[in-house]
Structure 1
Amino acid sequence: MQEILTALTDPTRRAALAILWGGGEHCVCDLMARLDASQSRMSRHMKILAQAGIVTGRRDAQWVRYTRNPNLAPDLSAVIDAVLAAERRFEKDIA
């Protein structure tokens, strides 16, 4: 659990999760463009999320395509859902 909570502390990782939680498979190149992050930075963030077991990656030529881990325990998915929902509410309140 500690590794998951630590992975959720970074705003870029939460933004990437929000994209992945929307469904589908996303390559690092897509996440880089959408989050205005360098390839090395985005890859590092995705590695942390993968090591925490939140996402899974599939190599496709030079890129890795990430998706939400379908085997993530439901209670851990609920924690991530709650964090992402709270962040959306917070961003809406400050906008």
Structure 2
Amino acid sequence: MRIRKYEVEHAMILTILSALAERTRLQAIQILGDGEEHCVCELMERLEVSQSRMSRHMKVLKEAGLVIGRRDAQWVRYRSNPALAPEYRAVVQAVLAVEHADEMQFA
């Protein structure tokens, strides 16, 4: 039974890392880190990507369990998933910390 739980946790961590391996998705997670809802229209403007590209990226983040979405008229509003387990939230924070350190190093 312990092995099965480890396999599930390992698979979830790999899914999270894969979702965060693309710069636009990582930047979207940084924006959503404020705990507020953000419209796809806002994210696409801030990240300078098309609506279709932003929607595809948000789909990956949603499938990884990192964000949740709510339809608001023609747009979807996203926010960080408050139900994400603390151990997985720690993985996200570690990736964000490494990204921030890399930005500081090259600034």
Do they superpose with TM above 0.5? yes
Q: Does the alignment pair 1:7 with 2:19? A: yes
Determine if the alignment matches structure 1 residue 83 to structure 2 residue 95.
yes
Give % identity.
Answer: 61
Task: For 1:88, give the aligned amino acid.
Answer: H
1:69 aligned to 81, 92, 101, which one?
A: 81
- 1:28-68 deviation per Cα after TM superposition (whole angstroms, max 9, x unaligned): 00000100010000000000000010000000000000000
Q: Secondary structure at the match of 2:36?
A: coil
In the TM superposition, 1:25-44 aligns within 5 A as 25-44=37-56
CA RMSD of aligned residues (A): 0.7
Amino acid at match of 2:89: S
Aligned-residue offset at 1:23? 2.0
Structure 1: runs of 5 or more not aligned: none
Aligned length: 95
The answer for unaligned runs of 5 or more in structure 2 is 1-11
Tell me how far apart the structure 2 counterparts of residues 23 and 71 of structure 1 sit (CA, whole Å). 12
> 2-side partners of 1:3 and 1:62: how far apart?
29
